[in-house]
Amino acid sequence: MRGARAFVGLGSNEGDAYGHLTAAFAALDEGAVRVAGAGRLVWSPYVGAPRGVLPPRVLNTVAEVRTELEPEALHARLSEIEQARGRVRDGRHTRALDLDLLAYDDVVCVTDELTLPHPRARQRAFVLAPWTEVAPRYVLPGSAHTIVEHATALLRDDPAQDGALRVATAPPFADRAAPCTRLTDRESLARWRDGCRGTVGVVMTMGALHAGHAALVQRAAAECDHVLATVFVNPTQFGEGEDLARYPRTLDDDIALLARHGADAVYVPSADDMYPDGLATTWEPSGAALGFEGALRPGHFAGVVTVVTELWRRTRADRSYFGRKDAQQLAVLAQVRAERALPVEIVACPIVRAEDELALSSRNRYLDGSTRLIAREFALALRGLGALAARGRDLDGVPMPFEPARDLAAVRAHLAGRGFGVDYLELVDPDTLAPCTELDRPRLVIGAARLGGVRLLDNRWLAPPAAEAP
């Protein structure tokens, strides 16, 4: 289903809050609606209770959906789901389930039943925090500002709200229980592809799958008629001395995860099937591939481009889903797609984080307990930069606008002091990865650092605080 793109706020503070949200995710993934993604669940204080009344905290998140329903019909569907979970509207300060239609494509409307975008969405950290995770670049209709800019403005104006949030857990996506056909060679892949009618989405992986990959499949299955995953530990993108031999291989678990999120088939080629004529790479790095990972890992992007373009050719995919955690890989692939005018749409999907903020990665399993505790400081440092950029003043309240060269150098030094080998930490244009000296609009800060033999890669959106709240 392609349908409209809409966002739903979910909350519960009565009885088994997690159970209510789990049921809501299942009900939202039926009929003319599909759940394409969601932020982590967060606990937040109840807002709006009269003095002296202290209702239980609320478990919240934001889900992105694809739907063929018109806004009014989707709004009615949300009320139905609330009622099925026993929502009672009698002025009480507890709700089994509260579902709000936050936004729907670029619709701006006010009717007796429905106001879009939701009038309070941009004033609530428990909405903007998970929304930033799932759709940072979505422009809130009628505002000309992205979700990450609204979140930055709220962080500047009311930092206590963000400080009161507690990340609880990953979103409870419904089990789609698709039978996932395993394809082991080019011939069976071609036969499977010939049998597809409608759109095909491909999710390429090297296996050792985690919730970050699950999010790609979740979205692909919400948007495409058929979803194919690939699992191939691609030797041509590993350099000498890198971890090709010990790269984790967990195929049975991988296939179970793919099926749960709605993949119809998985192509698991051997190296001979993938590269019948040897391992020659054919792409000369240029543009977005030259700095950062390209400079530190010679040959890496040539290997990635070789395997991805060959898989695009074999799968004839309409859409190809990649995570934003590998921001440079995404920029390089977008560049190659444009240079060769390839008929595939690249869909960039959000970074998925663990509860401790570390961006999920197959290599995180190499971190032992105590190293993991330190590793999270890398993610927290990037998050701290977001708060610094939003605040625009020092801890005494003296105006101190974010200054990339100075502030990034301070974070690099801090991380080095904590034992990280910082490869880079830079402010860049999110699409071209060109370094930026100014935070004049939303940008990415990208970083790579080594800790305990593991290389961590991460990035965060930074936005300048708007002169007025957007």
Q: Which residues are catalytic?
A: 213
The count of residues interacting with ligand PAF (CB under 6 A) is 10
Taking the least distance from each CB to ligand PAF, the nearer of 11 and 207 is 207
User: Among 439, 335, 348, 400, which residue's Cα sits nearest to residue 461?
Assistant: 439
Taking the least distance from each CB to ligand PAF, the nearer of 14 and 326 is 326
Beta strands in 127-275 (DSSP E): 139-140, 145-146, 166-169, 181-183, 200-205, 226-231, 265-267
Least distance CB 329 / ligand PAF (angstroms): 6
297 in Cβ contact with 455 (< 8 Å)? no
Least distance CB 336 / ligand PAF (angstroms): 12
DSSP state of 208: -
Distance CA 75, CA 69 (A): 9
CA distances from 372 to 93, 358, 367, 380, 452 (A): 39, 9, 5, 13, 9
Residues 408-437 that bind ligand PAF (CB under 6 A): none
Least distance CB 333 / ligand PAF (angstroms): 8
Taking the least distance from each CB to ligand PAF, the nearer of 78 and 258 is 258
Stretch that binds ligand PAF, among 62-70, 89-97, 200-208, 280-288 (CB under 6 A): 200-208
Stretch that binds ligand PAF, among 33-41, 101-109, 203-211, 270-278 (CB under 6 A): 203-211
Near ligand PAF by CB under 6 A: residue from 44, 161, 205, 218? 205
Range 359-385 burial, b when 16+ CB lie within 10 A, else e? bbbbebebbeeeebeebbbbbebbeeb
Stretch that binds ligand PAF, among 90-98, 136-144, 147-155, 300-308 (CB under 6 A): 300-308
Is residue 307 near ligand PAF by the rule CB under 6 A?
yes
Is residue 309 near ligand PAF by the rule CB under 6 A?
no
Least distance CB 204 / ligand PAF (angstroms): 4
Least distance CB 379 / ligand PAF (angstroms): 19
Residues 42-61 that bind ligand PAF (CB under 6 A): none
What is the identity of the amino acid at 71?
P
Taking the least distance from each CB to ligand PAF, the nearer of 186 and 418 is 186
Is residue 206 near ligand PAF by the rule CB under 6 A?
yes
Is residue 326 near ligand PAF by the rule CB under 6 A?
yes
Stretch that binds ligand PAF, among 38-46, 56-64, 201-209, 456-464 (CB under 6 A): 201-209
Least distance CB 234 / ligand PAF (angstroms): 4
Per 3-state DSSP, the chain is made up of helix, strand and coil in percentages (nearest 5) of: 35, 25, 40
Least distance CB 6 / ligand PAF (angstroms): 29
234-263 footprint of ligand PAF as x/- string (CB under 6 A): x--x--------------------------
Phi-psi region of 255 (alpha: psi -120 to 50; beta: other; left: phi over 0): alpha
Least distance CB 168 / ligand PAF (angstroms): 28
DSSP string, 354-397: -TTSPBP-GGGGG--HHHHHHHHHHHHHHHHHHHHHHH-B-TTS
Is residue 304 near ligand PAF by the rule CB under 6 A?
yes
Taking the least distance from each CB to ligand PAF, the nearer of 304 and 349 is 304
Distance CA 353, CA 38 (A): 12
User: Among 362, 105, 67, 384, which residue's Cα sits nearest to residue 243?
Assistant: 362
Distance CA 130, CA 147 (A): 10
DSSP state of 82: H
444 in Cβ contact with 469 (< 8 Å)? no
Taking the least distance from each CB to ligand PAF, the nearer of 5 and 213 is 213
398: number of Cβ within 10 Å: 7
CA distances from 16 to 63, 83, 333 (A): 19, 16, 44
What Rg, from alpha-carbon coordinates, does the chain have?
A: 22
Stretch that binds ligand PAF, among 94-102, 126-134, 303-311, 339-347 (CB under 6 A): 303-311
Near ligand PAF by CB under 6 A: residue from 99, 204, 215, 428? 204
Least distance CB 285 / ligand PAF (angstroms): 14
Is residue 308 near ligand PAF by the rule CB under 6 A?
yes
Is residue 458 near ligand PAF by the rule CB under 6 A?
no
Is residue 215 near ligand PAF by the rule CB under 6 A?
no
270 in Cβ contact with 184 (< 8 Å)? yes
Taking the least distance from each CB to ligand PAF, the nearer of 202 and 408 is 202
Distance CA 149, CA 461 (A): 9
Taking the least distance from each CB to ligand PAF, the nearer of 116 and 208 is 208
User: Among 212, 216, 333, 324, which residue's Cα sits nearest to residue 266?
Assistant: 216
Task: Give the H/E segment covering residue 416.
Answer: helix 404-417
Residues that bind ligand PAF (CB under 6 A): 204-206, 234, 237, 304, 307-308, 326, 329
